[in-house]
Protein backbone atom coordinates (compact mmCIF):
# COMPACT_ATOMS: atom_id res chain seq x y z
CA UNK A 1 0.00 0.00 0.00
CA UNK A 2 1.44 3.39 -0.90
CA UNK A 3 1.86 5.89 1.89
CA UNK A 4 0.47 9.43 1.62
CA UNK A 5 3.57 10.82 3.35
CA UNK A 6 6.01 12.64 1.05
CA UNK A 7 9.04 10.54 0.19
CA UNK A 8 12.11 11.47 2.14
CA UNK A 9 15.35 11.03 0.19
CA UNK A 10 17.65 8.54 1.87
CA UNK A 11 21.17 9.71 2.77
CA UNK A 12 22.57 8.00 -0.34
CA UNK A 13 19.93 9.56 -2.66
CA UNK A 14 20.51 12.99 -1.15
CA UNK A 15 24.27 12.60 -1.69
CA UNK A 16 23.72 11.54 -5.28
CA UNK A 17 21.86 14.78 -6.00
CA UNK A 18 25.06 16.72 -5.22
CA UNK A 19 27.52 17.29 -8.10
CA UNK A 20 30.88 16.62 -6.44
CA UNK A 21 32.83 17.70 -9.55
CA UNK A 22 36.35 16.47 -10.29
CA UNK A 23 38.19 14.94 -7.33
CA UNK A 24 41.90 14.14 -7.60
CA UNK A 25 43.30 11.41 -5.38
CA UNK A 26 47.03 11.99 -4.98
CA UNK A 27 49.58 9.96 -3.06
CA UNK A 28 52.41 7.44 -3.37
CA UNK A 29 51.83 3.88 -4.66
CA UNK A 30 49.90 1.88 -2.07
CA UNK A 31 48.39 4.75 -0.05
CA UNK A 32 44.91 3.44 -0.90
CA UNK A 33 43.85 5.72 -3.75
CA UNK A 34 42.00 2.87 -5.50
CA UNK A 35 40.28 1.74 -2.31
CA UNK A 36 39.20 5.27 -1.44
CA UNK A 37 38.06 5.94 -5.01
CA UNK A 38 35.71 2.94 -4.74
CA UNK A 39 34.25 4.34 -1.48
CA UNK A 40 33.59 7.69 -3.19
CA UNK A 41 32.00 5.93 -6.18
CA UNK A 42 29.55 4.27 -3.76
CA UNK A 43 28.84 7.60 -2.07
CA UNK A 44 28.39 9.82 -5.12
CA UNK A 45 27.74 7.52 -8.07
CA UNK A 46 30.43 9.20 -10.17
CA UNK A 47 33.05 7.16 -12.06
CA UNK A 48 36.52 6.24 -10.85
CA UNK A 49 39.06 6.95 -13.57
CA UNK A 50 42.25 5.09 -12.73
CA UNK A 51 45.01 5.69 -15.27
CA UNK A 52 46.78 2.56 -13.96
CA UNK A 53 43.64 0.46 -14.67
CA UNK A 54 43.15 2.06 -18.10
CA UNK A 55 46.78 1.37 -19.01
CA UNK A 56 46.51 -2.24 -17.75
CA UNK A 57 43.42 -2.63 -19.96
CA UNK A 58 45.43 -1.43 -22.99
CA UNK A 59 48.32 -3.72 -22.04
CA UNK A 60 46.04 -6.75 -21.65
CA UNK A 61 44.34 -6.01 -24.99
CA UNK A 62 47.61 -5.49 -26.85
CA UNK A 63 46.75 -2.02 -28.21
CA UNK A 64 49.54 0.22 -29.48
CA UNK A 65 49.40 2.25 -26.26
CA UNK A 66 49.45 -0.98 -24.27
CA UNK A 67 52.56 -2.20 -26.09
CA UNK A 68 54.39 1.07 -25.35
CA UNK A 69 53.22 1.12 -21.73
CA UNK A 70 54.02 -2.52 -20.90
CA UNK A 71 57.78 -2.31 -20.33
CA UNK A 72 57.58 1.06 -18.59
CA UNK A 73 54.92 -0.18 -16.18
CA UNK A 74 56.82 -3.38 -15.44
CA UNK A 75 59.88 -1.32 -14.52
CA UNK A 76 57.85 1.14 -12.40
CA UNK A 77 58.49 4.05 -14.77
CA UNK A 78 55.91 6.54 -15.96
CA UNK A 79 54.21 6.34 -19.36
CA UNK A 80 54.85 9.52 -21.46
CA UNK A 81 52.56 12.44 -20.61
CA UNK A 82 51.11 12.95 -24.11
CA UNK A 83 49.93 9.35 -24.31
CA UNK A 84 48.38 9.40 -20.85
CA UNK A 85 46.76 12.82 -21.42
CA UNK A 86 45.12 11.60 -24.66
CA UNK A 87 43.88 8.49 -22.91
CA UNK A 88 42.38 10.61 -20.09
CA UNK A 89 40.83 13.04 -22.64
CA UNK A 90 39.02 10.10 -24.28
CA UNK A 91 37.71 8.90 -20.95
CA UNK A 92 36.59 12.36 -19.79
CA UNK A 93 34.60 12.79 -23.01
CA UNK A 94 32.15 10.12 -21.86
CA UNK A 95 28.83 11.46 -20.51
CA UNK A 96 29.09 9.69 -17.14
CA UNK A 97 31.66 12.33 -16.08
CA UNK A 98 29.21 15.26 -16.22
CA UNK A 99 28.47 15.42 -12.46
CA UNK A 100 32.07 14.72 -11.59
CA UNK A 101 34.66 11.96 -11.48
CA UNK A 102 37.46 10.66 -9.34
CA UNK A 103 40.88 10.72 -10.93
CA UNK A 104 42.97 8.01 -9.32
CA UNK A 105 46.67 8.13 -10.23
CA UNK A 106 46.41 11.20 -12.47
CA UNK A 107 47.97 13.76 -12.69
CA UNK A 108 51.33 12.24 -11.85
CA UNK A 109 53.57 14.95 -13.35
CA UNK A 110 53.41 18.75 -13.44
CA UNK A 111 52.94 18.53 -17.19
CA UNK A 112 49.82 16.37 -16.70
CA UNK A 113 48.55 18.76 -13.99
CA UNK A 114 48.98 21.78 -16.28
CA UNK A 115 47.23 19.93 -19.11
CA UNK A 116 44.29 19.13 -16.82
CA UNK A 117 44.10 22.69 -15.43
CA UNK A 118 44.02 24.09 -18.96
CA UNK A 119 41.41 21.63 -20.13
CA UNK A 120 39.13 22.46 -17.20
CA UNK A 121 39.69 26.20 -17.64
CA UNK A 122 38.50 25.92 -21.27
CA UNK A 123 35.43 23.87 -20.37
CA UNK A 124 32.25 25.90 -19.91
CA UNK A 125 30.60 25.44 -16.54
CA UNK A 126 33.29 23.13 -15.21
CA UNK A 127 33.57 22.76 -11.46
CA UNK A 128 37.09 23.35 -10.06
CA UNK A 129 38.99 20.32 -8.83
CA UNK A 130 39.36 19.29 -5.21
CA UNK A 131 42.72 17.59 -4.59
CA UNK A 132 43.12 15.04 -1.82
CA UNK A 133 46.61 13.93 -0.84
CA UNK A 134 46.70 10.63 1.09
CA UNK A 135 49.76 10.13 3.31
CA UNK A 136 51.18 6.81 4.57
CA UNK A 137 54.76 6.15 5.73
CA UNK A 138 57.30 4.27 3.57
CA UNK A 139 57.54 0.99 5.52
CA UNK A 140 53.81 0.68 5.77
CA UNK A 141 53.55 1.24 1.99
CA UNK A 142 56.14 -1.44 1.35
CA UNK A 143 54.05 -3.99 3.31
CA UNK A 144 50.88 -2.90 1.54
CA UNK A 145 52.43 -3.17 -1.92
CA UNK A 146 54.44 -6.38 -1.58
CA UNK A 147 51.59 -8.06 0.36
CA UNK A 148 48.90 -7.06 -2.16
CA UNK A 149 47.08 -9.87 -4.01
CA UNK A 150 44.10 -9.43 -6.36
CA UNK A 151 41.31 -11.72 -7.48
CA UNK A 152 41.49 -11.80 -11.30
CA UNK A 153 37.74 -12.53 -11.48
CA UNK A 154 36.02 -10.05 -9.12
CA UNK A 155 38.85 -7.60 -8.44
CA UNK A 156 38.76 -8.02 -4.63
CA UNK A 157 42.04 -6.82 -3.15
CA UNK A 158 43.65 -8.77 -0.28
CA UNK A 159 46.85 -8.28 1.68
CA UNK A 160 48.74 -11.32 2.94
CA UNK A 161 49.73 -9.40 6.14
CA UNK A 162 46.75 -7.18 6.91
CA UNK A 163 43.74 -8.74 5.13
CA UNK A 164 44.52 -12.35 4.16
CA UNK A 165 41.89 -14.52 2.45
CA UNK A 166 40.35 -17.42 4.45
CA UNK A 167 42.33 -19.94 2.37
CA UNK A 168 45.85 -18.91 1.42
CA UNK A 169 46.12 -17.74 -2.20
CA UNK A 170 42.38 -18.12 -2.91
CA UNK A 171 39.63 -15.50 -3.31
CA UNK A 172 36.94 -15.77 -0.60
CA UNK A 173 34.24 -14.69 -3.07
CA UNK A 174 35.16 -16.46 -6.31
CA UNK A 175 37.48 -19.26 -5.18
CA UNK A 176 39.91 -18.12 -7.91
CA UNK A 177 43.69 -18.24 -7.44
CA UNK A 178 44.88 -14.78 -6.35
CA UNK A 179 47.50 -12.97 -8.43
CA UNK A 180 50.22 -10.45 -7.66
CA UNK A 181 50.73 -7.48 -9.99
CA UNK A 182 54.09 -7.70 -11.79
CA UNK A 183 54.98 -4.22 -10.44
CA UNK A 184 54.14 -5.03 -6.80
CA UNK A 185 57.63 -6.40 -6.02
CA UNK A 186 60.10 -4.67 -3.66
CA UNK A 187 62.50 -3.67 -6.47
CA UNK A 188 59.78 -2.17 -8.66
CA UNK A 189 58.23 -0.50 -5.61
CA UNK A 190 61.56 1.27 -4.95
CA UNK A 191 61.57 2.55 -8.56
CA UNK A 192 57.94 3.68 -8.34
CA UNK A 193 58.75 5.60 -5.12
CA UNK A 194 61.70 7.24 -6.89
CA UNK A 195 59.41 8.34 -9.76
CA UNK A 196 56.89 9.52 -7.18
CA UNK A 197 59.40 11.67 -5.27
CA UNK A 198 60.91 13.19 -8.41
CA UNK A 199 57.83 13.70 -10.56
CA UNK A 200 54.63 13.41 -8.53
CA UNK A 201 55.51 15.12 -5.23
CA UNK A 202 55.65 18.51 -7.09
CA UNK A 203 52.07 17.87 -8.27
CA UNK A 204 50.97 17.71 -4.63
CA UNK A 205 52.65 21.09 -4.01
CA UNK A 206 51.01 22.48 -7.15
CA UNK A 207 47.51 21.71 -5.87
CA UNK A 208 48.41 22.70 -2.32
CA UNK A 209 49.21 26.22 -3.47
CA UNK A 210 46.03 26.38 -5.57
CA UNK A 211 43.80 25.86 -2.49
CA UNK A 212 40.89 23.37 -2.51
CA UNK A 213 43.45 20.89 -1.19
CA UNK A 214 43.36 18.54 1.77
CA UNK A 215 45.89 16.12 3.23
CA UNK A 216 44.57 13.03 5.01
CA UNK A 217 46.30 10.39 7.11
CA UNK A 218 45.81 7.15 5.15
CA UNK A 219 47.12 4.89 7.91
CA UNK A 220 43.69 4.33 9.46
CA UNK A 221 40.64 2.13 8.77
CA UNK A 222 39.19 2.59 5.26
CA UNK A 223 35.96 4.13 6.53
CA UNK A 224 37.71 6.68 8.77
CA UNK A 225 39.78 7.85 5.79
CA UNK A 226 36.79 8.03 3.44
CA UNK A 227 34.67 9.91 6.01
CA UNK A 228 37.41 12.50 6.27
CA UNK A 229 37.71 12.79 2.48
CA UNK A 230 33.95 13.21 2.04
CA UNK A 231 33.77 15.86 4.78
CA UNK A 232 36.71 17.73 3.24
CA UNK A 233 35.26 17.65 -0.28
CA UNK A 234 31.93 19.01 1.02
CA UNK A 235 33.70 21.73 3.02
CA UNK A 236 35.90 22.76 0.09
CA UNK A 237 32.97 22.76 -2.33
CA UNK A 238 30.99 24.99 0.02
CA UNK A 239 33.84 27.51 0.46
P1 LIG B 1 48.98 2.49 -10.62
O2 LIG B 1 48.02 1.36 -10.83
O3 LIG B 1 48.28 3.82 -10.46
O4 LIG B 1 49.96 2.22 -9.51
O5 LIG B 1 49.83 2.63 -11.97
C6 LIG B 1 50.61 1.56 -12.45
C7 LIG B 1 51.62 2.07 -13.46
O8 LIG B 1 50.94 2.65 -14.58
C9 LIG B 1 52.54 3.17 -12.96
O10 LIG B 1 53.67 2.66 -12.24
C11 LIG B 1 52.96 3.83 -14.28
O12 LIG B 1 53.91 3.02 -14.98
C13 LIG B 1 51.65 3.78 -15.07
N14 LIG B 1 50.84 4.99 -14.84
C15 LIG B 1 49.65 5.07 -14.18
N16 LIG B 1 49.17 6.32 -14.15
C17 LIG B 1 50.08 7.08 -14.82
C18 LIG B 1 50.17 8.46 -15.13
N19 LIG B 1 49.23 9.34 -14.71
N20 LIG B 1 51.25 8.89 -15.84
C21 LIG B 1 52.19 8.02 -16.26
N22 LIG B 1 52.19 6.71 -15.99
C23 LIG B 1 51.13 6.23 -15.28
**21-26 sheet: strands from edge to edge:** 48-50, 100-104, 21-26, 130-135, 213-217
pLDDT of residue 2: 40
The residue nearest atom 3 of ligand 1, judged by CA position, is: 52
Tell me the pLDDT tens digit for each residue of 52-78: 999 999 999 999 999 999 999 999 899
Q: Hey, which of 33, 71, 79 would you mutate to test ligand 1's pocket, going by the most ligand atoms within 8 Å of its Cβ?
A: 79
Ligand 1 center from residue 78 Cα (angstroms): 6
Tell me the pLDDT tens digit for each residue of 209-239: 998 899 999 999 999 999 999 999 999 888 7
Ligand 1 center from residue 79 Cα (angstroms): 7
Q: Is 27 in the pocket of ligand 1 (CB under 6 A)?
A: no
Q: For the whole model, what pTM was predicted? A: 0.85
Ligand 1 atom nearest to 195, measured from its CA: 10
Ligand 1 center from residue 122 Cα (angstroms): 26
CATH number belonging to domain 12-138+194-238? 3.40.50.300
Q: Hey, which of 87, 103, 105, 114 would you mutate to test ligand 1's pocket, going by the most ligand atoms within 8 Å of its Cβ?
A: 105
Q: Break the chain into its structural domains and give their ranges.
A: 12-138+194-238, 148-183
Amino acid sequence: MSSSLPEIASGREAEQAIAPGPILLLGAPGVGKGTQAKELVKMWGIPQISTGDLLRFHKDHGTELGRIAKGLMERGELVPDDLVNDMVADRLARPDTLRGYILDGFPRTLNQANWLDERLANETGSIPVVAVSIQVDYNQLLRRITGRRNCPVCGTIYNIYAKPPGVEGTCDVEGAALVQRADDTEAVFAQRMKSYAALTAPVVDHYHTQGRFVEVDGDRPIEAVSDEIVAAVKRLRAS
